Amino acid sequence: MKILLRWGHLGTNGTDAWDPNATPWTGFAQTTVGGLEVREVLSFERGDHLLPRENRVTVQWESHTSTGWDGLVLALVIPRDAGPRTYFTVHAGRFTHVFAWGDLPGDHVFDLGGGNQLQVRAGMR
């Protein structure tokens, strides 16, 4: 499954203006079964970065946004019969959400106040 994660001011082109009071989005994505692969890093700048991988089920990052957004494109790979026991968690800043496998496909946008949103768009392509 392909998963697009974006956080910050999603209606912009992604470019951040420098701001010492930028919103912190440091966090992780994690699966209970299978593994995650980072396919692309989106709009990371000035200190935003992936943290070293410790295992195949977790991707961690440090990220801050002001007027733009940051994000990742991930691939979630699980065994064919593992769907019913697979959960996907995204934690970014103060936001945490756990998706059951059957609830993950689709475009999920969470409003977090101050113009900030978090998007999880998942599908088989």
Q: How confident is the model at residue 100 (pLDDT cuts 50, 70, 90)?
A: very high
pTM of the entire predicted model: 0.95
Average pLDDT over residues 42-70: 96
Residue ranges of domains in the chain: 2-123
Q: pLDDT digit string (tens) for 1-16?
A: 999 999 999 999 999 9
What local confidence, expressed as pLDDT, does residue 5 receive?
A: 98
What local confidence, expressed as pLDDT, does residue 46 receive?
A: 85
Q: How far is CA 68 from CA 29, 49, 55, 117, 119, in A?
A: 20, 16, 30, 11, 14
Gyration radius from the chain CA atoms:
14
Q: Does residue 36 surpass a pLDDT of 80?
A: yes
